[in-house]
Structure 1
Amino acid sequence: MKHTYKISIIMIFLMFFATLGCSDFLEEDLRDKVTIDNFFNSDAEAVLAVNGLYRVIHSLELYRTSNNGLDDMYMFGADLVGANRAENLEVHNYTFNESSTDPYGTWKKLYELARNAALFLENIDGNEKLSLEMRNQAVGEILFFRALAYYHLTNIWGDVPYFRTLPTIVELSSLPRTDKVIIRKDLKKDLEKAIGLLPSSYSGSDLGRVTKWAAATLKTKLHLFDKEWKAARDEAAMIINNSPHRLLDNYADVFDQSDPFNQYNDEHIFVIDYSGSDAVEDELRQNRTDFFNPRLRDEPKDPSQKAALIAALKTNNDNMTGYGKAIPLPEFADRTNWQVGDLRYDASITTNYEGIELNFPYFRKLWNLDQEYSRRANHPDNVVVFRLADVYLMAAEAENELNGPGDAYQYINKVRERAFEPDQPLSGMTQETFREQIRDERKFELSGESHRRMDLIRWGILVETVRNVVHRPFNNPGNNIQAKHVLYPIPAEEILLNPALLEGDPSNNGYR
């Protein structure tokens, strides 16, 4: 059914490497208690190691849920997505602090990924017991995952502890924060190497593995976030001009997960692949979709139509068994706030089911009500991390910042060509008006896809945006948000284990 190669690996091996990714960043150094001398001796063993990295990114604290994973820091707390009731209030209301649980879980998982990547790289890079082809692919994948870990860490916490080889217990207990500029300089070099090592595409059971285009997209993002406009433009253009990826003709098709046997498409550059109902491990099942799915108890708007709604759902083999915790905020759900003729509205937002008006709006593009293959807490839906439309918009933004809108129109208009009927290409704009347009274009094209909050942060407009958008009455982020909230504080538990984390910044990103 789905491609479960990432996690279907020897359980003894997983139990061994799980000890290298224990719950705390500061942990016992196990290299003198377990022996890996008899491992990494074949291509098959190298694959097992790298598959362990895929297993980590499937975890609850990263991509598997929208409640206590990366979506907490990337999707919520902006101007597009909220909950339909008073839930996850620390994130929505900007009351998180050093002791908040969810960010700490994400911190630990990202460092588990970084630690395992360091160990595996040490044992695979230059290992002549492996074939050159396998060694190149494995090193490329490991470099990508290490870069992905530190990309998230530096986005969320700024300057963070950084290592390229697995530290000892003594080293970990006094490892200070490293300037994120230094970290990201290394990441870009690593990703450039990974681009040269990784294949362009995969087939069969290897679909979903990291390609050179996934590495190039992550590198593009790092350049864009660091305002390295030429490098970002050139990297994005390289992907657009040379990769096998293309924009689909129909926007809604990009998110179509209705057929669990055919969930990849040409626009997807990197996805987290879940397999759902025939999974034996939780990491293969995601409940992220449940946050976009409605709760039947909340619907419909007119209670007298409840029976009709239930009958319609049954006819389609659908059900509303979700949580309703990731729905469009009121202004974004209002069609009048979208440009006339934007086809993405109907593909992205729904306020009805089979003509029955709903109590809340929902992200149609990200829900899946199917009860045969996509049931509550057991969804096989892929989580799309990178897709080509994002690359086009990054190219447009970087080109505009570099040279103005002249050559940037080709990139943004390619995205708009699909979005409007009839086509509404842009022209005749100043650099500033184009800058405002690209911000809107990313908002409407990428809504609900965990890009918005980081976009607002890198544009320097998070605080003003959150203060000016309409939230639901049980949330009041505009009253609480401050400049410090562009970063999270390093978790208190980590500071207790390693006081050196406060060296250079005793305020812990302004939270003390």
Structure 2
Amino acid sequence: MKNILKNKVVLVLLGLFAIISCDEYLEEDLRDAITPENFYNNDKEAELAVNGIYRIFHDNNLYRQRGLDNYYTHGADVVGPNRNVNGSIHNYLIAEGVADGNGTWAQLYEVVNGTTEFLANIDGNEKLTEANKNQAVGELLFLRALAFYHLTNLWGDVPYFREMLNPIEAGELGRYDKDLIRTDMKDDLTRAISLLPSSYSGSDLGRATKWAAYALKAKFHLFDKEWALAKSACDEIINNSPHTLLDNYADVFNQLDPTNAINNEHIFIIDFKADELATTRTDDYNPRIRDEPSNRNGNAVDEFGNPVLKANGTQMKRWEYFQSLMLEQEEDMQGYGWSVPLPEIADRNNWQEGDLRYDASIVTEYLGFQLAFPYYRKNWNLDQVNSLRGNHHENYIVFRLADIYLMAAEAENEMNGPANAYAYVNKVRERAFDPDQPWSGMSQTEFREAMYSERKFELAAEGHRKMDLIRWGILLDVVKSTVHRNWNNPAANIQPYHVLLPIPQAQILLNENLLTSDPSNNGYR
């Protein structure tokens, strides 16, 4: 799906029927020409509508930049800023109107609005062929469920609707119990599974398959502690899908070739493409040359200890020599350096001996130079040919197979203890260690607590850690016991209510009913 639609028709439709204002999408000369009555007349128009929803997920407030990453990676024990930035979020100084996620909220409801509108016009539409109609409905159900997954994760109870509302109704809608919402989403995903194809090819790679719907359904069940249902959904993927674990952990994240950036372990990704719908998230993980390497302004010497001279005969600084070596292989450090490993996870001594994932995940030296900060190698791309600053092609991996194995292991242990859970986790660890270090001989509690670390190291900086800590009930304890850099002190500020965000102030000003069911606004008042 690299050729994601830029067609004005879909953007106008999304704007025309959105509850949350998005006037920037509307163009006056097209409002009278395009309406629900004269659109959705054929398979192509239905596909354009669905593509418009995918496009919303490419927004800065969701997957393109640090929108969702702000709340899924920062403020835990794996990612932090390399300087005094992003402090409101990382240090739990969140309040109504301060880092309350309003942009993310608005974009997620853009998805809800669009999918609900398009489902009303596509589902049961006799003008469409059965196969294309089924796929479109399945994708829309999945994408709406993904939006509510994020909404309920971040805010708990939220406004909920399954049919389009008029502006007055929308403006007065209160919050619904998240359990009700998630129950409906699981049902929608069951239907999506029956409608979606098993795989795609060519330009359609990246669209949601039935396995993506199974993965999201498994997440809902796992978060709701519905262990049997979670494991069943995971087993469907493990046993019946075309997805396989790659032999080499580092290969999972190798996206140097823009034409071959999706692999068999990826179950669902948000696909980006330079010059069309590019991502800037990579820049958050890419270093800044102004920071690197350590002792950057010292005099440069080569591997033999000889001074490295410029053309004018003066000695290069270490950073100049370092940069010149990168440029020789068409690389550079032109990122923001915003998101780097926290000190504990960056320390090899805190990883189990023989864990190959360390070098694939963390980098502390490059081209023989010690770096001033550690970085996430799995999330950076220094390529200056295909992946330029502000114009990166790297995909955001939302769900991958190793996560599914670990979820199955956790669910099995919670139901029956570790005896049959070992096979799942050891499948993941088999490629992670040399020599292999399988788990055995644990109690149920020991297995559960070992999974806290296993998921941390396997999935570091992939957007799972903070929600894992929240659902395990250990976020506060972990944040308070984690070493942070001296410009951050989340341990002093974090409170029990920080497991959720406050309903954004901008939304409350528009609709006071958002406080009716909870005047405390998730504990922030």
**TM-score exceeds 0.5:** yes
1:162 equivalent in structure 2: 160
What is the CA-CA distance between 1:10 and the residue it aligns to? 2.1
Which letter does structure 2 place at the counterpart of 1:10?
A: N
What is the CA-CA distance between 1:499 and the residue it aligns to? 1.1
Alpha-carbon separation, structure 2, partners of 1:17 and 1:222: 27
1:389-404 maps to which residues of 2 (within 5 A)? 389-404=402-417
Question: Which residue, out of 172, 196, 201, partners 2:194?
Answer: 196
2:15 equivalent in structure 1: 18
1:375 equivalent in structure 2: 388
CA RMSD of the aligned region, Å? 1.7
What is the CA-CA distance between 1:25 and the residue it aligns to? 9.3
8 Å CA contact 2:89–2:99 kept in 1: the answer is no
Deviations 1:384-426 (A, max 9, x none): 1000000000000000000000000000000000000000011
Cα distance change of structure 1 residues 23 and 179 upon mapping to structure 2, 3 Å threshold: closer
What is the CA-CA distance between 1:20 and the residue it aligns to? 3.3
What is the aligned-residue identity percentage? 58
1:500 equivalent in structure 2: 513
1:315 equivalent in structure 2: 328
1:289-304 maps to which residues of 2 (within 5 A)? 289-303=282-296, 304=298
Question: Which residue, out of 90, 93, 96, partners 2:91?
Answer: 93
Deviations 1:182-218 (A, max 9, x none): 0000000000000010000000111111000000000
What is the CA-CA distance between 1:23 and the residue it aligns to? 5.2
Q: Which has the larger radius of gyration?
A: 2
What is the CA-CA distance between 1:102 and the residue it aligns to? 6.1
TM-score, normalization: structure 1? Answer: 0.95
Which letter does structure 2 place at the counterpart of 1:324?
A: G
1:426 equivalent in structure 2: 439
Structure 1, 338-347 or 99-108: larger mean CA deviation: 99-108
2:337 equivalent in structure 1: 324
Cα distance change of structure 1 residues 83 and 49 upon mapping to structure 2, 3 Å threshold: same
Alpha-carbon separation, structure 2, partners of 1:56 and 1:443: 29
1:275 equivalent in structure 2: 273
Matched pairs, number: 500
Alpha-carbon separation, structure 2, partners of 1:160 and 1:37: 31
1:359 equivalent in structure 2: 372
Are positions 1:472 and 2:472 aligned together? no
What is the CA-CA distance between 1:167 and the residue it aligns to? 1.0
Alpha-carbon separation, structure 1, partners of 2:58 and 2:140: 15
8 Å CA contact 1:103–1:491 kept in 2: the answer is yes
2:302 equivalent in structure 1: none
Alpha-carbon separation, structure 1, partners of 2:437 and 2:348: 18
1:42 equivalent in structure 2: 42
Alpha-carbon separation, structure 2, partners of 1:377 and 1:460: 37
Cα distance change of structure 1 residues 22 and 500 upon mapping to structure 2, 3 Å threshold: closer
Structure 1, 225-234 or 309-318: larger mean CA deviation: 309-318
SS class of match (2:101): helix
What is the CA-CA distance between 1:465 and the residue it aligns to? 0.5
8 Å CA contact 1:148–1:218 kept in 2: the answer is yes
Alpha-carbon separation, structure 2, partners of 1:251 and 1:235: 24
Question: Which residue, out of 420, 436, 441, partners 2:454?
Answer: 441
8 Å CA contact 2:13–2:35 kept in 1: the answer is no
1:125 equivalent in structure 2: 123
Cα distance change of structure 1 residues 60 and 443 upon mapping to structure 2, 3 Å threshold: same
2:398 equivalent in structure 1: 385
Structure 1, 297-306 or 120-129: larger mean CA deviation: 297-306
What is the CA-CA distance between 1:312 and the residue it aligns to? 1.4
2:147 equivalent in structure 1: 149
TM-score, normalization: structure 2? Answer: 0.93
Which letter does structure 1 place at the counterpart of 2:46?
A: A
1:219 equivalent in structure 2: 217
Alpha-carbon separation, structure 2, partners of 1:337 and 1:101: 32
2:305 equivalent in structure 1: none
What is the CA-CA distance between 1:101 and the residue it aligns to? 5.1
Structure 1: give runs of 5+ residues left out of the alignment: none
What is the CA-CA distance between 1:4 and the residue it aligns to? 2.6
SS class of match (2:375): strand
- Structure 1 consecutive aligned stretches of length 4 or more whose deviation exceeds 3 Å: 19-26
Alpha-carbon separation, structure 2, partners of 1:100 and 1:468: 25
Deviations 1:79-121 (A, max 9, x none): 0100100111111110011102560000000000000000000
Alpha-carbon separation, structure 2, partners of 1:440 and 1:307: 39
What is the CA-CA distance between 1:327 and the residue it aligns to? 0.4
Cα distance change of structure 1 residues 62 and 102 upon mapping to structure 2, 3 Å threshold: farther
Alpha-carbon separation, structure 2, partners of 1:391 and 1:35: 42
SS class of match (2:461): coil
Alpha-carbon separation, structure 2, partners of 1:16 and 1:397: 43
Alpha-carbon separation, structure 2, partners of 1:160 and 1:106: 13
SS class of match (2:17): helix
Question: Which residue, out of 469, 477, 481, partners 2:494?
Answer: 481
What is the CA-CA distance between 1:285 and the residue it aligns to? 1.0
Alpha-carbon separation, structure 2, partners of 1:325 and 1:267: 27
What is the CA-CA distance between 1:6 and the residue it aligns to? 2.3
2:71 equivalent in structure 1: 73
Alpha-carbon separation, structure 2, partners of 1:118 and 1:173: 17
SS class of match (1:351): strand
Alpha-carbon separation, structure 1, partners of 2:294 and 2:20: 44
2:314 equivalent in structure 1: none
Are positions 1:334 and 2:331 aligned together? no
Alpha-carbon separation, structure 1, partners of 2:440 and 2:10: 57
Alpha-carbon separation, structure 2, partners of 1:482 and 1:222: 25
Alpha-carbon separation, structure 1, partners of 2:339 and 2:231: 32
Structure 1, 200-209 or 303-312: larger mean CA deviation: 303-312
Structure 1, 98-107 or 239-248: larger mean CA deviation: 98-107
Are positions 1:453 and 2:466 aligned together? yes
8 Å CA contact 1:25–1:494 kept in 2: the answer is no
Question: Which residue, out of 272, 281, 293, partners 1:288?
Answer: 281
Question: Which residue, out of 385, 390, 408, partners 2:421?
Answer: 408
Cα distance change of structure 1 residues 309 and 21 upon mapping to structure 2, 3 Å threshold: farther
Cα distance change of structure 1 residues 310 and 119 upon mapping to structure 2, 3 Å threshold: same
2:313 equivalent in structure 1: none
What is the CA-CA distance between 1:316 and the residue it aligns to? 1.2
What is the CA-CA distance between 1:221 and the residue it aligns to? 0.2
8 Å CA contact 1:249–1:418 kept in 2: the answer is yes
What is the CA-CA distance between 1:24 and the residue it aligns to? 4.3
What is the CA-CA distance between 1:343 and the residue it aligns to? 0.3
Alpha-carbon separation, structure 2, partners of 1:102 and 1:315: 44
1:234 equivalent in structure 2: 232
Alpha-carbon separation, structure 2, partners of 1:465 and 1:482: 12
Which letter does structure 1 place at the counterpart of 2:523?
A: G
Which letter does structure 2 place at the counterpart of 1:469?
A: T
8 Å CA contact 1:21–1:113 kept in 2: the answer is no
